[in-house]
Amino acid sequence: MSNNRTSGAASGAFPHAALPTHVAAVIAAIETDIIRGRILPRNRLIEDHLMEDYDAKRHVVRSALVELQRLGVVVKPPHLGAHLRRFDNESLSNLYYFRAVVHGAAVAAMHLPVAPDRMAAVEAAALSHAEAAASGDLIAIHRTNMAFHRLFYGLCDNPYIEESIRLHDWLSFPARAYAIADAQALAQACREHAAMVDALHACDRQQLDRLALEHMGRARAIYVEKFLVR
C-alpha cells in the first residue's frame, strides 16, 4: 500500500489528515455515509462489510476504525463490535452543555478587534464553506465547516480551549452529522457563519456569544427529532 500522505495544511484541522492516504479515504467514506444516513447510531461497523463497501484491505479498514474510535466517533465496548456512537437525552444534554461552556469561553477570550490577516483567514474559511455548500459535496461541507470553527474559535489564542473545542467537535460529530445533508440546516449554518464574521468586524462580543450558542441548536434538534423523540 502507498504511504502517500495528505497535505500538511489540512493536518491542522483534521488529526487523521496525516494518516496514509488509503486510511484517510476510508475515514472520509465512513464520514460521508454517516452524513447521508447510511450509517446510523449503534449500527455495527463490520470489517468484512466495510472492506467490500469501500474496496479496502482489512488493515486499512481496521486503521480507519481505530482512528475514528480515538476521536470518539466510533465506540467499541468490551466484547462488542465497533459501532457509531449514540447519544441518549442525558448524554446529549451534557455534551451540548459543555460545548456551550467552552465556546462561550473562547468568545470571552477573543482579542477584539481581530488582526487583519486573521480576519481575512476567517472570512476565507466562511467563503470556502459556502462554496462547498453550493457544490453539494458532503465531505467538503463537513471539512470546511470544521475548518471555519477551528479558525473562528482559534481567535481566543488559548490552546487549552482550542483543543477542547476541537475534541468535542469530533465527539459531537455523530450528533451533528445529519444536519450537514439537511438543506435548511445548511443554509442556516452559512448565514450564521456570515453573521459571525460581521460580528467580528463590529467587535460585538455579545452578538458573538449569542451566535456561538445558537449555531449549535439546529443540528442538535435534528438529532433529537430523528433518534430521541418517541
The burial of 190, by beta-carbon neighbours within 10 Å (0-12 exposed, 13-18 middle, 19 or more buried), is given as buried
Question: pLDDT by residue (tens digit) across 106-143?
Answer: 999 999 999 999 999 999 999 999 999 999 999 999 99
Q: Which residues contact 76 (CB under 8 A, 6 or more apart)?
A: 65, 69, 82, 83
- Rounded to two decimals, the pTM is 0.86
CA–CA gap between residue 226 and residue 129 (Å, rounded): 25
End-to-end CA distance of the chain: 47
Question: Cα(155)–Cα(149) distance, rounded to whole angstroms?
Answer: 10
H or E stretch including 108?
helix 89-109
Nearest to 133 by CA among 220, 193, 197: 193
Indicate the pLDDT class of residue 16, thresholds 50, 70 and 90.
low
Cis peptide before 78 (omega within 30 of 0): no
- For residue 202, give Cα distances in angstroms to 108, 112, 170: 15, 9, 30
* 3-state secondary structure (DSSP) of residue 41: coil
Measure the CA dihedral 97/102/108/109, to 10°: 170
Q: Lowest mean pLDDT: which of 12-26, 104-118, 197-211?
A: 12-26
Q: Summarize pLDDT for 65-92 with one digit per residue, the tens.
A: 999 999 999 998 887 789 999 999 999 9
Domains of the chain: 8-84 (1.10.10.10), 89-228 (1.20.120.530)
Q: How would you class 60 by CB atoms within 10 Å of its CB: exposed for 0-12, middle for 13-18, buried for 19 or more? A: buried
